[in-house]
Amino acid sequence: MVRDILRRQRPDWQLVTPGLLLLCAFAVPAGMLLAGQGEPAFNGVDTMWQAYSFTLHSPFWDAVNAVLNWAGYVGALILQTVLAVALVVARRPMTSIFVAASGISALALTQLAKTVVGRSRPEGAQVLTDTGSYPSGHVSATTAFLMVLALLIARWWMTAIATLGVIAMMISRTYLSAHWLSDVLGGACLAAGVVLLLWWRFRKICLTENAGETIWAAKASRRLQAGERAE
């Protein structure tokens, strides 16, 4: 059964290539910001989007984005930790390591990039922020957690939820004037690239460990086998 599942998986290059391209999409703007020679080419788009974001403000959206401000960083890290612990309890240690490594790697690289790039944030932020603007930590944490869920559950609806969740967090961070548009794009690219490359290394062992295409499929398989033995 596991061998059949492994044969149906995408070839390695279909994970490695997009993973590396996403990391490049993060690194190129970072390099342009580090070069510090005038305004980066994308500065005009950042400014235009920021001006548009101001037109969207209302008490309702302020309240929604206050929730997203907590959920996108602290909430995502808590949920990722809970998922990793739950997988250990469920005797899925390697899958738990994949989940933990994804969150820790994305967080560490994001904080390192913030320090190295040292980009200033937009003026008038509505929430407390640290000093580094590029890349967005909230978007990075959200992307890492939701992408891990999408890979483990492996259902189209989870992929759709993950995509909408990341887009919502990207809009939220610019709405709150906590980040420029390029910051949130950079955070998403960094986290997505890291998770894809980690999944490339962990995929086979995670699938073997779960004995199914997803965690839920593994549970269903065990129930079916138990029913057959009972008969």
Domain boundaries, the chain: 2-6+16-30+56-230
Neighbours of 231 (CB within 10 A): 4
Residues of the chain with pLDDT under 70: 1-9, 37-39, 124-125, 128-129, 211-231
pLDDT at residue 7 in the model: 43
* Distance separating alpha carbons of residues 136 and 151, to the nearest angstrom: 22
DSSP for residue 212: S
pLDDT at residue 78 in the model: 94
pLDDT digits (tens, 9 = 90+) for 68-118: 888 888 889 999 999 999 999 988 999 999 999 999 999 999 999 999 998
The predicted model scores a pTM of 0.84
Looking up tokens 């790039």 gives: 117
